[in-house]
Structure 1
Amino acid sequence: MKEDFLHYLWRYKKFDTLNLKTSKNEDVTISNVGQYLELAGPDFFNAQITIGDQKWAGNVEIHLKSSDWYVHHHEQDVAYENVILHVVWEHDTEIYRKNNVEIPVLELKNYVHKTALDNYTLLVTPKSWIFCEKQLSTIDDFVVKNWQERLFFERLERKSKPIEELLVQTNNDWEAVLFTLLAKNFGLNTNGDIFFKIAKSIPFSIIRKESFELENLEALLLGSAGLLNEEKEDNYYENLKFRFDYLIHKYQLEKSVFEPVQFFKHRPDNFPTIRLSQLASLYYVEQNLFSKVNTINSIASVYSLFKVGASEYWQEHYQFDKLSPMKKKVLSKPFVDLIVINTIIPILFAFAKSQGKEIAENLIELINEIAPEKNAIIEKFSAFGIKSTNAFETQSLLQLKNEYCNKSKCLDCAIGIELLKNN
């Protein structure tokens, strides 16, 4: 048994509340269980409890055993001075405040029905993938949909943290932050971190100034990626190399050294040369991109805004000096969908949050237009009865798996709580 189960029992009063007595046989009446804040200090704040004839207002601490009070050194922590009741599964010792006043103890195991214990055991018994996999299909759609909305915005809150950090670093330049985030996502999983470092290494003021010269933008990005360091018999390569050296001198930039960008195991359309050229083309075609992103109202408008491709040279190349069949390497809709999910929606959410505006419904409408993502996690959920029809649902399920299932937080999960109630 874990403490989170005791938190659940206390929080939702899932025990016999009519005949409660402390370890000293005093009657206990619960008027308010308190606030479950999950912060440092006691587990529940501002509870209201009557013990014997005395009404108390204060905090409640929960442990598996009374002796855990001393194991955790609460007797030395002033944060626990206002604990009015110690709720435990098993009472094995008396506990005292610093002033040697005994703290009342409620031994909960005497008041919990066997069914609740059986349900808990069923929920947390290890399965092949997640604890509740065999019961997922029994959950009411209404519960799942409501929980998915909460999960979606939890995920956005998490994604907004690095955006807020970038804002501090760029003096609240939203255009610069968007450029950096786009660079990371253009690099996908393999080159994302390197592209992110490259974008941060180039002051965005330079990107602004050079955005009217496509080859200058390409030179800056490809050169910073270490792709212009050799000598080649390729005129376009030599042109970019000359421009890069000139721009480095012009802006007094240091040639940053990053780990090499990766070509291996990538489809040619995802080669770093192609993605960096497409990113350069985007900023050549669309200056003030954040201002335009901030006005989008449908996925169609996003596709229109990101309707760009690699420059002319790359229509017959994937790497320098190696001719390939002619192909216009434009950003595909699935790729733009990833950009919307991982860059556009998070930055719109962060911007609205900074402005005190509410755009939740707009973001849900936008992501509902995007096809569901395909990966092993989504396929597993589908196999166990939770099927997705759009990216809103898949993003929610990724949050569920990573932040709840993987961390065994079943009793903080709406699905876990519903299973305990229904069973």
Structure 2
Amino acid sequence: MSSPFNMPEEFLQYIWENRLFITEVKTEAGDRLEIIDQGKRNTDAGPDFFNARIRIDNTIWAGNIEIHQKASDWLKHGHQKDKAYDNVILHVVESPDVEVSRTDGTPIPALHLQYSEKLANNYRHLLDSKTWIPCEDQFHKIDPVLLQLGFNRLMIERLENKTGEILAKLKQNNNDWNETFYQILARTFGFKVNALPFELLAKSLPISILGKHKDNLFQLEALLFGNSGLLNQQLLGDDYYIRLREEYSFLYKKYGLKAIEGHLWKFLRLRPVNFPTVRIAQLAAIIHGSDTLFSKILEAKNLQELTDLFRVKASDYWDTHYNFNKLSKRKVSKELGDTSIQIAIINVVIPMLFVYGERQNKPALKNRALELLEQLPAEKNSIIGKWSELGIKARSAFESQALLQLKNNYCEQKKCLNCQIGAKLLTS
């Protein structure tokens, strides 16, 4: 029988979509009802399910299905005045508190949706869970193979989620792929802490201007540090700092530049190697290698060639500095490390390849993006570490990205009904 407590509409939709309701059904009017086809889920505006087919007594009806917790929600949402709902052939509700009709006044047959209380209790248990993932106390019941089978769907989904952001930037940049790549790369260089100022810096200083100075690393640093606002933080400094300010003063006037605010950059609680000063210097070194980096990436034949494009070091000044005008205790070459390169490839190169392949109708590029993920080692972070504790060990970046997608887009939002594991536990 149906649950004694009200369940969310998404649960009722899940019950309907997966035919988990009581099979011997009748309409509220007492007519014999057979569900021939429950229809296809609609993720846009309008009725919940399209193209359903039902039989009421001896008449077959084809049309749409609307699902509500209470039948009176039909009136609350104004569907009785909306012609988009005139093709609804069945109103599926948990609580049939009123009769409803179409815009012309004709009544709509209603089904009192009934399902096992066990299903409701299992779902409520997941929703009420306070553990790291909702099913943490039941996770051991699931065969890990089930999760492995879902990695491909999760990974494609993760890449497609990034498509919108890339296409929006591409539109802003008049379909300039190199400019778009540069902006997304710059944001990634800031990690989470300095992502915004890096993005603002890239937007304030187009790659077309940097490209005119690609053969002069000092000028690239003057442009990037000048427009970052970090050269305005002190009036006096060492020789290198003063020379950068002087060079930027000339380039600033030449291109009519406008620097961002220097106070936006965060240094607190960062490892010195990740200070924005070091990261900006490394970004300058990458552009020094090529201002058309995305074109080079499209030409790269394998992972090693891609990695080599990012294998750069900051200028010699940064061997003895982490910040301006402060000598470090020992000399350390500020090369872009393996982890940083891997992050850039995973979060910038691969999504851009995937989107470019999709837009240019080049499936081989989309496949290359997925192959690169399989070749890269799994990421090391707190989320992947926790999955490992639960017995799910990522063997590649493909799998670690899929696990990040699962945790952030399903577990965190408790979308257990859309998860293979949650769905399995719901009916177990």
Fold match by TM threshold 0.5: yes
1:115 deviates by: 4.1
| Secondary structure class of the residue paired with 2:185 | helix
Distance 1:108 1:87 in 2: 6
1:79 corresponds to 2:84: yes
Match among 201, 206, 219 for residue 204 of structure 2: 201
1:61 deviates by: 0.5
**Are the equivalent residues in 2 in contact too, given 1:88–1:108 (CA < 8 A)?**
yes
**Are the equivalent residues in 2 in contact too, given 1:127–1:133 (CA < 8 A)?**
no
| Secondary structure class of the residue paired with 2:26 | coil
1:124 deviates by: 3.4
1:389 deviates by: 2.2
Q: Which residue of 2 aligns with 1:285?
A: 289
Distance 2:384 2:195 in 1: 22
Distance 2:168 2:263 in 1: 23
**Are the equivalent residues in 1 in contact too, given 2:155–2:402 (CA < 8 A)?**
yes
Match among 397, 402, 412 for residue 403 of structure 2: 397
1:82 deviates by: 0.9
Q: Which amino acid aligns with 1:368?
A: E
Q: Which residue of 1 aligns with 2:256?
A: 252
**Are the equivalent residues in 2 in contact too, given 1:297–1:366 (CA < 8 A)?**
no
Distance 1:6 1:198 in 2: 48
1:181 corresponds to 2:187: no
Q: Which residue of 2 aligns with 1:342?
A: 347
**Are the equivalent residues in 1 in contact too, given 2:183–2:199 (CA < 8 A)?**
yes
Q: Deviations over 1:48-107 (max 9, x none)?
A: 111112111110011122122122222122211111001112222211222221110111
Distance 1:240 1:416 in 2: 57
1:314 deviates by: 1.1
Q: Which amino acid aligns with 2:203?
A: K
Distance 1:100 1:258 in 2: 65
Q: Deviations over 1:128-181 (max 9, x none)?
A: 222211222332334312322212122211212221111112111111111111
Q: Which residue of 1 aligns with 2:172?
A: 169
Q: Which amino acid aligns with 1:223?
A: G
**Are the equivalent residues in 2 in contact too, given 1:20–1:28 (CA < 8 A)?**
yes
Cα 1:99–1:258, aligned 2, differ >3 Å: closer, same or farther? Answer: farther
Q: Which residue of 2 aligns with 1:388?
A: 394
Q: Which residue of 2 aligns with 1:136?
A: 139
1:305 corresponds to 2:317: no
Match among 298, 301, 316 for residue 320 of structure 2: 316
Distance 1:255 1:339 in 2: 25
**Are the equivalent residues in 1 in contact too, given 2:213–2:219 (CA < 8 A)?**
yes
Match among 234, 241, 255 for residue 238 of structure 2: 234
Q: Which residue of 1 aligns with 2:298?
A: 294
**Are the equivalent residues in 2 in contact too, given 1:3–1:63 (CA < 8 A)?**
yes
Distance 1:65 1:108 in 2: 11
Q: Which moved more, 1:115-124 or 1:272-281?
A: 115-124
**Are the equivalent residues in 1 in contact too, given 2:227–2:258 (CA < 8 A)?**
no
Distance 1:400 1:4 in 2: 19
Distance 1:368 1:212 in 2: 35
Distance 2:390 2:138 in 1: 8
| Secondary structure class of the residue paired with 1:134 | coil
1:394 deviates by: 1.9
Cα 1:143–1:296, aligned 2, differ >3 Å: closer, same or farther? Answer: farther
**Are the equivalent residues in 2 in contact too, given 1:232–1:238 (CA < 8 A)?**
yes
Distance 2:357 2:121 in 1: 45
1:118 deviates by: 4.2
| Secondary structure class of the residue paired with 1:309 | coil
Which runs of 5 or more structure 2 residues have no equivalent in the other structure? Answer: 1-6
1:414 corresponds to 2:417: no
Match among 355, 371, 379 for residue 377 of structure 2: 371
1:297 deviates by: 4.3
Distance 2:253 2:132 in 1: 55
- Identity of matched residues, %: 43
Distance 1:209 1:272 in 2: 24
Match among 113, 116, 119 for residue 116 of structure 1: 119
| Secondary structure class of the residue paired with 1:188 | coil
Cα 1:313–1:387, aligned 2, differ >3 Å: closer, same or farther? Answer: same
Which runs of 5 or more structure 1 residues have no equivalent in the other structure? Answer: none
Q: Provide the TM-score with structure 2 as the length reference.
A: 0.93
Q: Which residue of 2 aligns with 1:92?
A: 97
Distance 1:262 1:131 in 2: 34
Aligned length: 419
Q: Which moved more, 1:277-286 or 1:384-393?
A: 384-393
Q: Which residue of 2 aligns with 1:217?
A: 220
**Are the equivalent residues in 2 in contact too, given 1:201–1:256 (CA < 8 A)?**
yes
